[in-house]
Amino acid sequence: MSVTANLIKQLRNLTGSPIINCKQALEESAGDLTKAQEWLRVKGISQAHKKLGKSVSAGLVGGLITPNAGYLLEVLCETDFVARTDMFQKFTTDTLMSWSKSQLPFSQISSLHLEGFNQTLEEAKLESISKLGENVLVRRGEMMEQCGKSAVGLYLHNSVNSLLSQSGCMLKLQAEKPLAEEDKEWISKLANSLCMQVVAAKPLFLFKNQIPIEFREKERMAVEEQIDEKTKAKPKNIYDEIVKGKLEKSLDQVTLFEQTFMISEEPGEKSVKQVLHEASKKIDSPLAITGYKFYQCESEIQQS
pLDDT at position 2 over 50: yes
pLDDT exceeds cutoff 70 at 52: no
The answer to whether 149 and 176 are in contact (CB under 8 A) is yes
Contacts of 38 (CB under 8 A, 6+ apart): 29
Q: Where in the chain is the domain with CATH 1.10.8.10?
A: 5-51
Q: What percentage of the chain carries pLDDT values higher than 90?
A: 54
Q: What is the model's pLDDT at position 47?
A: 57
Q: Is the pLDDT of residue 4 over 90?
A: no
Rounded distance between C-alpha atoms, residue 4 and residue 97, angstroms? 39
Q: Residue 43: pLDDT above 70? A: no
More confident residue, 229 or 181: 181
| Cα four-point dihedral sign 117, 121, 123, 125 | positive
- Report which of 264, 55, 88 is spatially closest to residue 274, judged by C-alpha positions: 264
Output the pLDDT for position 274: 94
Q: Place 299 in a pLDDT band, splitting at 50, 70 and 90.
A: low
- The answer to whether residue 89 scores a pLDDT higher than 60 is yes
Tell me if 297 sits within 8 A of 62, measured CB to CB.
Answer: no
Q: How many residues does the chain have?
A: 304
Q: How far apart are alpha carbons 74 and 303 in whole angstroms?
A: 15
Instruction: Round to whole Å and give the CA distance between 141 and 109.
Output: 9
Q: Which contacts qualify for 181-189: CB closer than 8 Å, 24 or more apart?
A: 183/282, 183/283, 184/151, 187/151, 187/279, 187/283, 187/287, 188/151, 188/152, 188/153, 189/153
Are the CB atoms for 23 and 34 separated by under 8 Å? no
| 65-74 pLDDT per residue, tens | 999 999 999 9
| pLDDT of amino acid 304 | 36
For residue 28, pLDDT beyond 60: yes
Average pLDDT on 217-230 reads 87
- pLDDT value, residue 169: 97
Comparing 16 with 91, which gets the higher pLDDT? 91
| CATH no. for 5-51 | 1.10.8.10
The three-state secondary structure class of 207 is coil
- The architecture of the domain spanning 58-169 is 2-Layer Sandwich (3.30)
Q: In the chain, which segments carry CATH 3.30.479.20?
A: 58-169
Residue 250 has a pLDDT of: 93
- Confidence check: pLDDT of 48 > 60: no
Greatest mean pLDDT among 16-25, 53-62, 127-136, 203-212 lies in 203-212
Q: What is the pLDDT of residues 243-298, one digit of tens each?
A: 899 999 999 999 999 999 998 777 678 999 999 999 999 999 999 999 999 999 86
What is residue 84's predicted lDDT score, i.e. its pLDDT?
93
51 pLDDT above the threshold of 70? no
Condensed to tens digits (0 to 9), the pLDDT of residues 129-140 reads 888 888 899 999
Which pLDDT does position 80 carry in this prediction?
92
Q: What is the mean pLDDT of residues 26-53?
A: 69
